[in-house]
């Protein structure tokens, strides 16, 4: 656990962030220098159409504590983050976005908690400025649905911004998860974990390049289907309930025919509604099964989560 003068690895996934590199490094270097930390800053770069790579290379020439992992193509933020975890050398690591919505100043509090004996210190958002109502709704309900049905305790309103001890890093490196859903993998690993609260600030430069609406929905689906079998259980229960209701309806129809000598009142609208409802339930169940089968398919192929094209100043 806590050691004197630890090496801290700062893992920063980036894509199309040319304008944010220098402001980020200015604040991050001020923090680590203030805390007198040995450090490495690892930029995990999805190939970008702007000058992000060139900017990072210039910063590496200025400061040899900075390194870069460049991928062969765009693999996405979860893969980039896992690459940083696999390559980092630190006694502890911090995962943080480059846009400064997550304040680097929180690292001091995270280290204090680590020194108290916590293996993971994750930052929980009390507020989220600069985001649309649609994204607020998606994230609010998404986190809570994942928490409600997951087999492990995945904290709500918590992204990837966190500090992790080397023990946790080593366990994560053993994982062969195809999707790299860190928010679920870290609770799965376990060990003593704690949350600190903060207010997420509005992005000041550019627009987000990761986790827009579709990315957020995909992240939620990874959390739901990657860490729980309850959707399958719900589909089974729903199918059983509908079958029971259909059986009861059939008995009632038979009772009317044989005992009361009457037929159920025919109605095209009711018949159409029932058929449409049952078809919808069937398609929903098939969709749930398909999500699991798709993930099984991805896992059995055992394709790498990412492919590295080149590294710069990474041992």
> How deeply is 88 buried, as exposed, middle or buried, from its count of CB atoms within 10 A (0-12, 13-18, 19+)?
buried
pLDDT score at 76? 84
Tell me the DSSP string of 220-244: HHHHHHHS--HHHHHHHHHHHHHHH
Q: How far apart are CA 313 and CA 69, in angstroms?
A: 9
> How deeply is 201 buried, as exposed, middle or buried, from its count of CB atoms within 10 A (0-12, 13-18, 19+)?
middle
Q: How confident is the model at residue 213 (pLDDT cuts 50, 70, 90)?
A: very low
| Beta carbons of 100 and 28 less than 8 angstroms apart | no
Burial 257-280 (b: 16+ CB within 10 A, else e): eeeeeeeeeeeeeeeeeeeeeeee
Span 102-121, average pLDDT: 90
Q: How far apart are CA 5 and CA 211, in angstroms?
A: 35
Per-residue pLDDT of 161-189, as tens digits, reads 889 999 999 998 888 776 667 777 888 88
pLDDT score at 65? 92
pLDDT score at 125? 82
CATH placement of domain 7-228+303-312: 3.90.550.10
User: Which of 184, 178, 179 has the alpha carbon at shortest distance from 300?
Assistant: 178
Token pair 């995270």: residue? 110
Taken in order 49, 78, 304, 296, the sign of the CA dihedral is negative
Report the DSSP pairing between strands 92-95 and 158-165. antiparallel
Q: Averaging pLDDT over each range in 126-135, 212-221, 286-295, 301-310, which range is the top one?
A: 301-310
Between 157 and 85, where is the model more confident?
85
User: In angstroms, what CA-CA distances link 93 with 67, 83, 192?
Assistant: 14, 13, 16
Per-residue pLDDT of 228-281, as tens digits, reads 656 666 766 666 676 666 667 667 666 666 676 665 555 545 565 567 667 667
Q: How confident is the model at residue 153 (pLDDT cuts 50, 70, 90)?
A: confident
CA dihedral angle for residue 215, residue 218, residue 222, residue 225, rounded to 10 degrees: 170
Instruction: Look up residue 65 and give its DSSP letter.
Output: T
Domain range list for the chain: 7-228+303-312, 230-301
Per-residue pLDDT of 63-90, as tens digits, reads 999 999 999 999 888 889 999 999 999 9
């Amino acid at each position: 656990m806590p050691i004197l003068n630890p090496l801290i690895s700062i893992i920063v996934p980036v894509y199309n962030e040319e304008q944010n590199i220098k402001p980020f490094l200015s604040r991050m270097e001020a923090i680590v220098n203030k805390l007198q930390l040995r450090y490495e800053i690892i930029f995990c770069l999805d190939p970008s159409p702007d000058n992000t790579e060139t900017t990072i290379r210039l910063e590496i020439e200025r400061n040899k504590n900075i390194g870069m992992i460049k991928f062969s193509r765009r693999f996405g933020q979860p893969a980039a983050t896992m690459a940083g975890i696999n390559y980092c050398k630190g006694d502890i690591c911090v995962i943080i976005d480059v846009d400064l919505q997550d304040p680097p100043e929180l690292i001091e509090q995270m280290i204090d908690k680590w020194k108290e004996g916590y293996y993971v210190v994750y930052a929980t958002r009390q507020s989220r400025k600069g985001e649309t109502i649609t994204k607020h709704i998606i994230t609010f309900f998404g986190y809570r649905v994942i928490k409600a049905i997951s087999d492990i305790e995945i904290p709500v309103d918590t992204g990837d911004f966190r500090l992790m001890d080397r023990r946790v890093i080593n366990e994560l490196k053993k994982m062969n998860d195809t999707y790299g859903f860190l928010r679920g993998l870290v609770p799965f690993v376990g060990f003593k974990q704690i949350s600190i609260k903060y207010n997420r600030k509005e992005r000041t430069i550019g627009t987000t390049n990761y986790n827009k609406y579709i990315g957020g929905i995909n992240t939620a689906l990874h959390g739901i289907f990657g860490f729980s079998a309850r959707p399958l259980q719900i589909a089974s229960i729903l199918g059983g309930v509908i079958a029971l209701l259909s059986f009861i309806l059939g008995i009632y129809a038979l009772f009317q025919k044989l005992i009361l000598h009457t037929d159920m009142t025919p109605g095209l609208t009711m018949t159409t509604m029932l058929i449409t409802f049952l078809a919808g339930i069937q398609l929903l169940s098939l969709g749930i099964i398909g999500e699991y089968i798709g993930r099984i398919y991805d896992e059995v192929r055992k394709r790498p989560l990412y492919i590295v094209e080149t590294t710069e100043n990474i041992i």
